[in-house]
Each structure stands twice: as C-alpha cells, then as structure tokens.
Structure 1
C-alpha cells in the first residue's frame, strides 16, 4: 500500500476540495507535504457557513471563533491579532486595529497580512501617549476622554474588500470611519487612506457589487464611488421608500 504522504499534489488538492474548514486545518497537520498543499489553496472551496469572531482569551491570548456548521467553539493562536480590535472581515480576511490607530489585513487561515497605514485623520505617525487629546471632538461624537479600547471599537465601523488579495493583487479596501461613517479607500502601495467626498451627512452601509462600491445614506439614497478623475460619491438611485409591516 502506498504511503498517504506520497500522494501527488493534484490528488491532495482534489481531496481538500471536499473538506470543511476544520477538516482542512486537520488535513494540514498530517505532514509537511499535506500542510504545503493546504496552504496553497485560498481556503476550503466548498460553500461554507461563516464563522463568528469572538473575543480574545485573556489567559491564553488565543482568539475564539464559533463555527455555525458544527456548533463548536475554537480557540486559535494568532499572535498578529494580540491586542487588536477586529473591525471587519471580507473574503475570509480580517481587518484589525491596534492602539496606534494603524491596522492590518490578515488571512487567519494562511497568516498572510498587509500592514495598513493609520486610519483617517491619523495619516501620519502619532504619539500614542497624547493620541486621545489629538482626536477632533466631532470625530468621536463629542469632547470626552476615550480609552484606547473604546477608540479601537469606534474608529472603523465597517471594512470590505473588492477582491480576495490572494486572487488579485490590484484589490481595493474600503472602510467607513469616524462618527459620520465617512468612506475612505486604500490600495496596496498607498501611503495613506483616501477619503471619498461628495456626500452630505453620514453613511449607513457600504457594499461591493459588480466592480463597484455602493454607499447607502441614512436617508436611503444610493451612491456609487467614482475613483476617476477625483474620488467622489455620485448619486445613482433615488431615495428608497418602504413601509414597515406590523
């Protein structure tokens, strides 16, 4: 009988196409060859239910996740996330903010990551000891003292990607930040986030659909993000009316 560790990569890749995420992780723990094959794939390709990202365990510093498919909790050691607040996820990647108001984009499955520049309006090096005093009062919703943990949770309200960075290197990351949920974007190689102008008031949500980012205002007006020649929001849909059914 042939050794399982000697199976060719194409056979192993075919096997992984039927595995759930937990089984995919177990597959990669068998041997070096199987681990190499498991890391070469974007993630288990079969349709998967999402995992819920829970808090970091203070004792072990591991991050807790909850799998909806098998109704189990998993504690996973991801040192890059220690002390960071996870503010969003997209295409299996996590956005995380640290106490210096910078962030990372990390794939918890492969541990690949991108260092993100400071979030607006901190597009420069900041002194952590005086950071709270530098925050504009309207940025955080009014004058008061905020802990670093509170700031981490309030700066970025949503973060999404246009594409999976493992599939396309020319992806765009879009966030909503601050009290007004202002949209801003970043691309690999950019030294700073670019704030998108053209909207009166705050944003309610942002999505990516068919090569475009769309922003929804609290008044239910739909905007599309135009990147050229100057990044701006353009109205593409009338105000949506709806009726609440009782």
Structure 2
C-alpha cells in the first residue's frame, strides 16, 4: 500500500522521456515496470508494437516449471537480475508440453497430440505449425468415426556405409501423445532475409533427418535424405547441417528443387561428444563438443545420471576440412542446450561470466526419465570447474531451457498448399 501511494504521487513524466528510459531496460525489468500503473503499461505496449524503438540486447533467461505453480505457469529466471518471474501462458498447459527448441525468443513445443506450436512466452502469441501428419514419415490412423486415433511412423532403412536409403521401411504405431517421445529431436527457427520471413527446421526420426516449413506453409517439406544430423545453422542463404561423423551438408531452401550438397565428407579431426554449431561474430563457423560422464546418485529410484564434465570448442576450417581447437573464449560466453546455441560478449552482458559455458540438459531421451535430476550449470573453460545457476527448485519436466526474451510478433498464415 505504501508503494502504491508513492507511485500515485509521482509527477507524470512526459511519454517520450518514459519511452527513452524503458528502451534501456531488459524485458523482464520492463515487464515489472509495466505493472506499476496504466500509463507505464501503455508505454510498454507501444514499445512492443514499435520494435524499431526498442533494440535493447537481451540476456538469456532460464525457463522452467514449478510444482508450486499452476500447470499453465512458467518460471523465468533472469540471469541479469537474479530473480524469478511467473508467466501465465496460453493452453495447452506448459507442463503438458515437450520443449524441443528455443530460438529468437520463441519456444517450439509439442502438445499431447504430438502437434507443434511456436510460443512467445513474453507476448503469449502462439502459432500452430503444420500438422505432424503433413510430415512424409507420419500417417494418420482413423477410427470408425473418422477421428485420428493414432499415428503410423514410417522410418526408412538406411545403409550407413553407402549413406543412402535402401528398400523397405520400419513401421511402428503410436498413440497420439506418444509419437513425440520418439519422433521429435530438436527444432530451430531461422530468419530468412530473402523472404523477410522465418523458417522452422525440424530434426526428427531415429535417423535424425531434416524437414522444414516457412511462414505460410501448410505442410512440412522433407529434405533430401541425409543421416544423423546433430545440429544445423542457416547462413548466407544456405542451411548447413552437421553429422556426428564430421560431414557437412548444405541445402538451398529457396531453390525450386532442393538438393543435398555435401561440402565436407570427412573431417581430418573428429571428436566424440554432443555437437552444437554456431557462428561467431567474426563470421567463423564453430563446433562445440560437450562430453558427459556417468555419476552415481544417492537416490534409490535413480542409480546414476549423466553430467557435463568437459566442453571443447573448435573453429571449422572449411578449406583444410579440419577442426582447429580454440583454447578459450576470452571475454565471450556460450549458451548450450535445446536452445539455438548463442555466442555472447560478457563485456556487453556484464552479469555473465566470461570464458564460461551456460548449459542445460538436452537429452533427447529425457522424456523417458521425467523425474531425473537435470544437467544444468555453468562451466568455466579456464579451470573446467562447474557451478550451479540456482538451487534445483524447478520441475524436471518439461526440460528447463534457455530463452532470450523478445517482444517480436510473427504472422503465420497458411497460404502455401
């Protein structure tokens, strides 16, 4: 009550002055300011509709759920402020969804019918992506009333040595809420400057194939068959896809006929570990390899867990077809997990620790162990020591994920059949 009286008695600042002040705030702090009074809320709304006035770089936040909150509430932990915000999100409830990606402020989620949505947790805008049954690998099975009752998943047989499909498929049948357990691996959102739009790239199936859809599409387009894609990145008008064996393929998604172009068949240097790809501000293409170790636990229901014990960073030398070890990040910071990997400057984001990697669990089989402890923390690359981000107060499902807050909105109308 005392705070309300103080705010009510404050002199009203000119709107343009408030706009200039609010434009300096990060989004979590901006949301808090918007709750003070109606005039401040109006300024916040204006910034959201005039994004050219709001270009403040955003520190990634950890999004998770809590058993103490409602099923439709997500918790957003701000690294910049070291505080938690509760966000009430649209249905279906966030705790019933799987989180398979985070890019440019958007979550990519899978609901209980294994359908995908884009969700901006700040603006609460939600967009349904093309149905799972528009993916060439999935076919609907109908009951007598004509309602979809389950899915058939057709997985092609693949010759690893020849790197090609062979005759025949493995067919399996799954309940509506079970397909997402096995079919989805990871999703990314990429801006497409050529169309001033966005592209969603989906990694799926046991063979880790790629499909994509752009704004306006009503179905997924399966890319020419590759195998074992671990991560991908969109740059210079091409999609670069990386396999765990060191190969790099490119796809021109704007071509009338999309073909696979293998630009690197075998890397001279090859390393094990979970693979992430990102582009440094210098333009260099980087590969990050995250190694895990098994640790015993004191929990009778959980005999062991996998934890990050080492992260190695490499520059991709395209000409030499080799990986060049990068010893440290200096004043740079990495964010790894189910999110699209990020490479930031600790000088620009003063709350972040230089030469460190902030990571979350991205185990693709995590849904099988929903109650397990998650591998989340900060790893210092100089001494290889890790520390916790905050006490583990989150639910272990859906997996906590990094998200960079954004006020951006997206138009996704189904126009292309």
TM-score bracket, normalised by the shorter chain, equals: 0.7 to 0.9
SS state of the match for residue 197, structure 2? coil
Mapped partners of 1:207, 1:225: distance in 2: 11
Q: Residue 208 and residue 191 in structure 1: after superposition, are their counterparts in 2 closer, same or farther (change >3 A)?
A: same
Quick check: which has more Rg, 1 or 2?
A: 2
What's the CA shift string for 1:97-155, capped at 9, x where partnerless?
112222111221122232111232347797787325x234779x99697782x543443
Point out the more displaced range, 81-90 or 34-43.
34-43
What's the CA shift string for 1:152-177, capped at 9, x where partnerless?
34432221122299xx7522111111
Mind listing any 5+ residue stretches in structure 2 that lack a counterpart? 1-9, 158-169, 272-311, 313-417
Match of 1:95 among 77, 101, 108: 108
Q: Residue 101 and residue 146 in structure 1: after superposition, are their counterparts in 2 closer, same or farther (change >3 A)?
A: closer
1:222 has 2:248 as partner: yes
Match of 1:155 among 152, 177, 183: 183
CA contact (8 A) 2:105 2:120 kept: yes
CA contact (8 A) 1:20 1:44 kept: no
Match of 2:261 among 222, 234, 240: 234
What's the CA shift string for 1:54-81, capped at 9, x where partnerless?
2364751211232222333332110235
Greater relative contact order (Cα 8 A, min sep 6): structure 1 or 2? 2
- The 5 Å alignment of 1:102-141 reads 102-119=115-132, 120=135, 121-122=137-138, 130-131=149-150, 134-136=152-154
* TM-score, length-scaled by structure 1: 0.79
Mapped partners of 2:12, 2:68: distance in 1: 42
CA contact (8 A) 1:91 1:164 kept: no
Point out the more displaced range, 186-195 or 150-159.
150-159
Mapped partners of 1:190, 1:147: distance in 2: 23
- Give the Å deviation of 1:213: 1.6
* TM-score, length-scaled by structure 2: 0.49
Q: Which structure has the highest helix share of the two?
A: 1
Q: Residue 195 and residue 67 in structure 1: after superposition, are their counterparts in 2 closer, same or farther (change >3 A)?
A: same
SS state of the match for residue 223, structure 1? strand
Structure 2 partner of 1:192? 219
Mapped partners of 1:48, 1:123: distance in 2: 41
Aligned length: 236
Mapped partners of 2:126, 2:196: distance in 1: 13
- Give the Å deviation of 1:243: 6.2
Point out the more displaced range, 152-161 or 122-131.
122-131
Mapped partners of 1:35, 1:126: distance in 2: 47
Mind listing any 5+ residue stretches in structure 1 that lack a counterpart? none
Structure 1 partner of 2:70? 60
Mapped partners of 2:240, 2:270: distance in 1: 23
Mapped partners of 1:153, 1:46: distance in 2: 37
Structure 2 partner of 1:206? 232
